[in-house]
Structure 1
Amino acid sequence: MSQITARLPEEMINELDRAANALHRSRADVIRQAIEAYLEDFNDLTLAIERLRDPADETVDWQEARRALLDQD
């Protein structure tokens, strides 16, 4: 495992400490979880953008999807 050093504003450190205390976790655990969540979101967003830009990717008309969903019981 590698180590990273970052400079953070004092207020962010205070918020980090409050979160760590509330979760009964260390600063490192909270930071690690935050980075994991960010990277998952980043990867999801990157994939979504790639699909939006792909002219061969199948699209669904919003009105058709809405009717299909609302007409089901």
Structure 2
Amino acid sequence: MTQITARLSDEVLSSLDAAATRLRRSRAEVVRQAVEYYLDDFEDISLAIEVLQDPADLALDWEKVKRDLLNLD
């Protein structure tokens, strides 16, 4: 594994320490997991933006999307 260094504000560090304490994890574990979650979300959002920017893709029908998401059929 590669080690990196990051500068954090005192407020962020305080929040990180509080989270690590509550989770009974080290700072490094909390940071590692947070970065993994962020990158997963970033990848999902990037793919969604690509789909939305595709001019060949039809526009979404809001009512159909709502029915599908809420299982209203």
Q: TM-score, normalised by structure 1?
A: 0.82
- % same residue: 56
Q: Distance in 2 between matches of 1:66 and 1:53?
A: 21
State the SS of the aligned residue for 1:56.
coil
Question: In structure 2, what is the equivalent of residue 4 of structure 1?
Answer: 4
Q: Which amino acid aligns with 1:53?
A: Q
Return 5+ residue gaps in structure 1 as ranges. none
Q: Which amino acid aligns with 2:21?
A: N
Shift of 1:54: 1.2
RMSD of the TM alignment (CA)? 1.8
Q: Distance in 1 between matches of 2:67 and 2:41?
A: 29
Matched, 1:61 2:61: yes
Return 5+ residue gaps in structure 2 as ranges. none
Q: TM-score, normalised by structure 2?
A: 0.82
State the SS of the aligned residue for 1:5.
coil
